Amino acid sequence: MKFTSSSLGLALLACFLLLLAAPRADAQVVIYRLEFSKAGPSVNYGFYHEAWVVAEATGGTASWVLVYQEGPHQKFVRVETYGSYFQASHRGQVQGVIYATPGTNTPTSTFLALGEASSKVKSLVATVKVPKKLEGYTISGDSESELPFTVNEIDKGYAGSSKIKGELQSRMSSDANDDDLTVSETMDSVVASLKRKGYQDATPTTTTTTTN
């Protein structure tokens, strides 16, 4: 077969259009809403009361929106690539697990929540079983030793734990997968929804300094 420049151009255009139409490999996401309640002894422990977790339904890095109360205001912090969602199995029973530990530019908390993978999440390419409910704990502590200290300061350092109860956001997950959204795009959607409800974005911004 002989190719001309025009036929080769048409072939390349056809391939490009097929790539645009193909489903993205990371298009299947899952969204959970977590609630926290204090459990056990604590000191100077004021914690988030709610969180939204977005991850790939088949497992992968998780992203979080952590919500807290400050006076009369509901505020949130967006944290990308914090911990992971994965599945663990024992004797045929599959558990979905959300696990996160402290790291650079992340909360000084460890989160662990899990539940039986009994619900289905569908996307354009597959159906995956994930937990409908999650239960677990979070622990948090920091000496705050890097903060300036004065003789008048009596509250410094904190420690405590909270119980986690989470639930799959079936409709939101389905809508995100119907729209073929990535984890990042789904996070944008969750944040936009909170802002519409009057929640304030308190995510720290990083400043880049350029040296000439």
- pLDDT tens, position by position, 130-171: 999 999 999 999 888 776 655 456 788 899 999 999 999 999
Can you give the pLDDT at residue 4? Answer: 44
Structure tokens at 52: 């939204």
**Angle subtended at Cα 106 by Cα 100 and Cα 110, rounded to the nearest 5 degrees:** 30
Q: What dihedral angle (degrees, nearest 10) is formed by the CA atoms of 200, 56, 141, 48?
A: 30
Give pLDDT, residue 147. 65
DSSP at 44? S
- Residue 48 is predicted with a pLDDT of 94
Calpha distance 123→62 (Å, rounded)? 18
The pTM of this model reads 0.81
The alpha carbon of 50 is separated from its chain's Cα centroid by a whole number of angstroms, namely 12
Phi-psi region of 180 (alpha: psi -120 to 50; beta: other; left: phi over 0): left
pLDDT at 18: 37
pLDDT under 50: residue ranges of the chain? 1-26, 151, 207-212
Check residue 43 and report its DSSP letter. B
Joined together, the tokens standing for residue 66 give 């952590």
